[in-house]
C-alpha cells in the first residue's frame, strides 16, 4: 500500500483572522488556486465539524470531503475516500513572532492508488494563495 504526503508552508504578513477568512471560505478557492475547479459546500456556512463538500480538481475525479477536525481561526482537516485512496487535507495557521502567520497545507494519501492522486497535487495551492489580503 502506498503512502504519499505533499506539504507546503508559507509565511504571510497578515493577521490570523484575515488568513482564516480566506482559508475557511472553501467555495472561493477556485478564484486563487489552479488546483481547484470548484467546491460546493453541502452544509450551511460557516465551515464546521462534519461539514461536507464536493471538490472538483483538474485531472482528478470529483470527491466528497468531510471536515474531521476544526479549530476556528486556526485551521481544519478534512478527509475523502475514493477508489484506491484515502486522502486527508490539513490546513493550519500558526502566528509568528513578527506579527504575521505561517500557513501549513498538507495532503496525506494512503491506498493502492495514492501515488496517482498525489501526482496531480504537486502544484498545490500554497504557492498560489492570494497573500495580498493583509490585515
Q: Report the share of the chain in percent with pLDDT over 90.
A: 64
Name, in order, each residue with C-beta under 8 angstroms of 33's C-beta and a sequence gap of 6 or more.
124, 125, 128, 129
Q: Which domains does the chain have, with CATH numbers?
A: 2-128 (3.30.530.20)
Residue pLDDT, tens place only, 75-113: 999 999 988 889 999 999 999 999 999 999 999 999 876
Q: Are 105 and 7 in contact (CB under 8 A)?
A: yes
Tell me how far apart the alpha carbons of residues 22 and 43 are, in angstroms, rounded to a whole number.
Answer: 18
Amino acid at each position: 500500500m502506498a503512502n504519499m504526503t505533499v506539504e507546503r508552508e508559507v509565511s504571510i504578513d497578515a493577521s490570523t483572522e484575515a488568513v482564516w477568512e480566506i482559508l475557511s471560505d472553501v467555495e472561493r478557492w477556485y478564484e486563487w488556486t489552479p488546483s481547484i475547479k470548484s467546491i460546493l459546500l453541502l452544509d450551511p456556512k460557516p465551515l464546521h465539524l462534519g461539514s461536507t463538500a464536493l471538490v472538483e480538481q483538474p485531472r482528478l475525479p470529483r470527491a466528497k470531503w468531510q471536515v474531521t477536525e476544526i479549530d476556528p481561526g486556526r485551521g481544519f482537516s478534512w478527509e475523502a475516500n475514493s477508489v484506491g485512496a484515502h486522502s486527508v487535507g490539513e490546513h493550519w495557521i500558526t502566528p509568528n513572532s513578527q506579527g504575521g502567520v505561517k500557513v501549513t497545507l498538507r495532503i496525506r494519501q494512503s491506498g493502492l492508488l495514492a501515488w496517482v492522486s498525489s501526482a496531480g497535487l504537486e502544484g498545490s495551492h500554497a504557492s498560489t494563495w492570494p497573500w495580498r489580503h493583509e490585515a
